[in-house]
Structure 1
Amino acid sequence: METIVSKRIKLDLEPSDNNDGENVQISNNWRIKSILSDEHIEPIKRCFVYAGIVDDKKFIGKAMSELCQSMPLHGLNFLKRVHQSKLLLCTLNQMLDFLRENHEDEIVKKIFMTENDLRTASDQMTTSLLKLYMTKRGISLTVVNFLIKKIEITSVAAQAPLLSWQHSDVNNDWPTKFHPNKDLEKLYNGTWFTEQETIFHVQIMEMCGLLRTKLKREVCGIAIDPRTKSIVAIGFDEIDRHPLMHCAMVLIDAVARTQKGGAWNEFLVENDDLAIYTNFNDEFDEYTQSGVSKFIRKLITTENPSITFGAERVKTAVENRQNYTDIDVNGDNLSKYGPYLCTGYDVYLWREPCLMCSMALTHSRIRTIFFHETQSTGSLCTLTKLQSVKALNHHFQVFRIA
């Protein structure tokens, strides 16, 4: 999708009525949408439970004491045990597991093979099964007889709600314990960024569009130090030169140049007709501008003179020891450990990165990814959401600006 790039951006925020994870911040027809995990944008899954309906509320306290001690709600501790005159006993799946593992009667095992078999069982059979299950679990016969006088099978949340809209959705069925996460709510509602932050993010993405148009490149990427709002490095898709030189990979290598590294320095210079990868030793006091060539800096400042450039210079061993004693323990990772790889940087990519690039950005310890276009091999919202994989030891936030 081609976008007309403007030098000045006027912000026009409008509220969104969507409640399906599409709530976004709007800036001059550019929308910033948080790419959240599926668990945040999908309805909560349900499961069926047995609930005992009691007549004498005075007996609830004794029943609750025994149930909590002998029949804890493993995996469903977010549910309140009592709802009006109903006590949650156990799930139908727990009953199935019990019958498969403990019941000696093979006929009973064959009758109750699925959850639906239990749901359609007669009241007498349901009462008998619950009595057997609860007494085996150590509930006194007095409490068992009290709870199984009248049984109801009801649907409840199978997992804890993460956002307010999910809590509202499931709470009518059965009350849940819920403490809203303010950060998650802001991400979902599209209120994560301030007005000025929104302007800046859109401005940088428009700059990606400007560079790819001016230089006739498919993809452009920009790395930003969020503390100074300065451009640390810029990279372009170079797969016509080497199959591994996707935009994100070249951008990471450009960041490495600001830290006295870079695996593709000589290769890129040899093939650099536009001089967009030169000036590797361009340093100014505490900052280095070796991640962006003079050619690109001139091109950008001509369009937007307010943009700044530079990455924090790599410290010596003595400076690192001094910095370690001075850091704020609550500070950001870039201040604590940087400059190291892409730790704490924000990355803007015109196109959604593939899995290889996203993993490289993960290992580089970036803070946030912003992208504009999706692609069929994209790994942040199209094929998968890599940022949602809990097994990874680093996670970043993802936003789409479109």
Structure 2
Amino acid sequence: MDTCGSPPPVKRNRQSPTDDEDSVEIRAVLSHEYNEIALIKVHSCQLETKQQLQSVIQELSQKLPRFQHLKRVHDRNVLICPTSDVGGAESLEEHLQRYAFSAHVLRALCHQVKVVEVPARMPKLRVQYEQMIQHWPCKFHPNHYSESLRNGSNFSISQRIFHKRMGQLLTKLSTDVNKDRPVGICVDPRQPSIVSIAGASESSSADGHEHCSMLLVDFVARSQQGGALRSNLSFVEDQENTKTTLRGLPKAYYDYLKKNEAYQDLKFGAEISRKGQPQQQMSEAEHAQGADNLAKYGPYLCTGYDVYLLQEPCLMCSMAFVHSRAKRIFFLRPSDNGALVTRFQLHAVKELNHHYEVFQFTTDGSLT
């Protein structure tokens, strides 16, 4: 690959996608709950008459309140309990006797018992719902945003063009500035404006703190008068009385983009921290609310920011974006130790106190 650079391309109208951009898609990386149909085995019975229905359902709802995501009755078949609830040598009747069902309801529940497979949880997408009802009728509350993530309609045309452009820019910066090593870009999507750029150093494989994602988070902190890592890089200096700061941008990347005619329309800089204002006293929970707080209180770590990465981040780097409250992560190439798709889906872990969305650029090869 030629790393010596090439003449800058002719400036194009950014209102319409280029041929390269048309070949790139942006796929939301959804948790397994959006992609799989989980089934569980359940004991069911068949009522002899419809007149039994009211008393049976009334006692079941009081003593075995299960299956809120399912219709408990289907064609006179009634769901009783998961087969896993009935232990070892215990029969279903013996299990039900422990709940003190009335005699006539107990007889009804033990009539024509069979085991059926039903959905284990409520569907999140309509396509799941249509598959699940083949097994058993279930409840479904459509979520238009979830559907848009799946079908790719969550971004406007201008947003999609910008995201794809950032994907292309990752490759250019890696090739022309960082000797084919991974690169990351952090963007304030409100402008949109590039807040920070970082590239993996030669020592990245030996020192995890040199991963470009870790550097990127630290460089964002620099834009907020913070930062913990020592760096030999030169950073852009701010002019007096400026309303934005360029402190998170290494000069090598900034100068490359400013001198390249194809990128003259890009915006750079982060909002200056509002020192002494209410965000300084905000709780962790309040910061976790996300992008709305970026507009309300000003920058705090990566709150409300989008992150674009050439490589899928490892577990350590993915956790760094959790702690720094990133809004969305976009990446181009999967990694052997990637923690968002390849080996793990960190963003889908419910126990975390912050969750970001993840998107992967898919391409026919034009960006790789």
* TM norm structure 2: 0.85
Structure 1 residue 200: deviation in Å?
0.5
Structure 1 residue 294: deviation in Å?
4.8
Q: Is the 8 A contact 2:279 2:298 kept in 1?
A: no
Secondary structure at the counterpart of residue 308 of structure 1: coil
In 2 relative to 1, CA 52–310 (structure 1 residues): closer, same or farther, beyond 3 Å? Answer: same
Give distance in 2, aligned partners of 1:71 and 1:319: 49
In 2 relative to 1, CA 49–295 (structure 1 residues): closer, same or farther, beyond 3 Å? Answer: closer
2:356 partner amino acid: F
Structure 1 residue 229: deviation in Å?
0.2
Note the 1:327-366 alignment, pairs <5 A: 332-366=292-326
Give the match for residue 70 of structure 1.
Answer: 63
The gaps in structure 2 that reach 5 residues or longer are 283-288, 363-368
Please identify, of 79-88 and 254-263, the stretch whose mean Cα deviation from structure 2 is larger. 254-263
Secondary structure at the counterpart of residue 372 of structure 1: strand
Give the match for residue 235 of structure 2.
Answer: 278
Note the 1:163-182 alignment, pairs <5 A: 163-182=125-144
Give the match for residue 79 of structure 2.
Answer: 88
Q: Is the 8 A contact 2:43 2:79 kept in 1?
A: yes
Q: Is the 8 A contact 2:274 2:298 kept in 1?
A: no
Say which one has the larger Rg.
Answer: 1
Structure 1 residue 152: deviation in Å?
2.7
Q: Percent of pairs identical after alignment?
A: 36
Give distance in 1, aligned partners of 2:247 and 2:338: 29
Is 1:31 the equivalent of 2:25? yes
Deviations, residues 63-85 of structure 1 (Å, cap 9, x unaligned): 21122112222xx2211111012
Give distance in 2, aligned partners of 1:188 and 1:339: 30
Q: Is the 8 A contact 1:236 1:247 kept in 2?
A: yes
Work out which of the residue numbers 267, 282, 289 in structure 1 matches 2:246.
289
Q: Is the 8 A contact 2:307 2:326 kept in 1?
A: yes
Give the match for residue 314 of structure 1.
Answer: 273
1:178 partner amino acid: F
Structure 1 residue 295: deviation in Å?
4.6
Q: Is the 8 A contact 2:182 2:309 kept in 1?
A: yes
Structure 1 residue 297: deviation in Å?
2.9
Give the match for residue 105 of structure 2.
Answer: 143
Structure 1 residue 330: deviation in Å?
10
Give the match for residue 157 of structure 1.
Answer: 119
Structure 1 residue 12: deviation in Å?
8.6
Aligned length: 344
Note the 1:174-323 alignment, pairs <5 A: 174-215=136-177, 216-240=179-203, 243=207, 244-264=209-229, 267-269=231-233, 277-282=234-239, 285-301=242-258, 302=260, 303-317=262-276
Secondary structure at the counterpart of residue 187 of structure 2: strand
Structure 1 residue 309: deviation in Å?
0.6
Structure 1 residue 51: deviation in Å?
1.8
In 2 relative to 1, CA 157–319 (structure 1 residues): closer, same or farther, beyond 3 Å? Answer: closer
2:56 partner amino acid: A
1:249 partner amino acid: M
Structure 1 residue 333: deviation in Å?
2.6
Q: Is the 8 A contact 2:21 2:165 kept in 1?
A: no
Q: Is the 8 A contact 2:279 2:297 kept in 1?
A: no
Give distance in 2, aligned partners of 1:33 and 1:352: 14
Give distance in 1, aligned partners of 2:240 and 2:100: 74
* TM norm structure 1: 0.78
Structure 1 residue 320: deviation in Å?
5.9
Give distance in 1, aligned partners of 2:132 and 2:100: 31
In 2 relative to 1, CA 288–51 (structure 1 residues): closer, same or farther, beyond 3 Å? Answer: same
2:181 partner amino acid: E
Q: Is the 8 A contact 1:283 1:290 kept in 2?
A: no
Structure 1 residue 370: deviation in Å?
0.6
Deviations, residues 73-99 of structure 1 (Å, cap 9, x unaligned): 2xx221111101211122221122xxx
Give the match for residue 106 of structure 1.
Answer: none
Give the match for residue 54 of structure 2.
Answer: 61
In 2 relative to 1, CA 155–220 (structure 1 residues): closer, same or farther, beyond 3 Å? Answer: same
Structure 1 residue 319: deviation in Å?
7.9
Structure 1 residue 151: deviation in Å?
2.3
Structure 1 residue 160: deviation in Å?
2.4
Is 1:380 the equivalent of 2:340? yes
1:401 partner amino acid: F
Superposition RMSD on alpha carbons, in Å?
Answer: 2.9
Give distance in 2, aligned partners of 1:144 and 1:256: 65
Q: Is the 8 A contact 2:31 2:345 kept in 1?
A: yes
Secondary structure at the counterpart of residue 232 of structure 2: helix
Give distance in 2, aligned partners of 1:83 and 1:319: 55
Q: Is the 8 A contact 2:291 2:305 kept in 1?
A: no
Structure 1 residue 219: deviation in Å?
1.1
Structure 1 residue 365: deviation in Å?
0.9
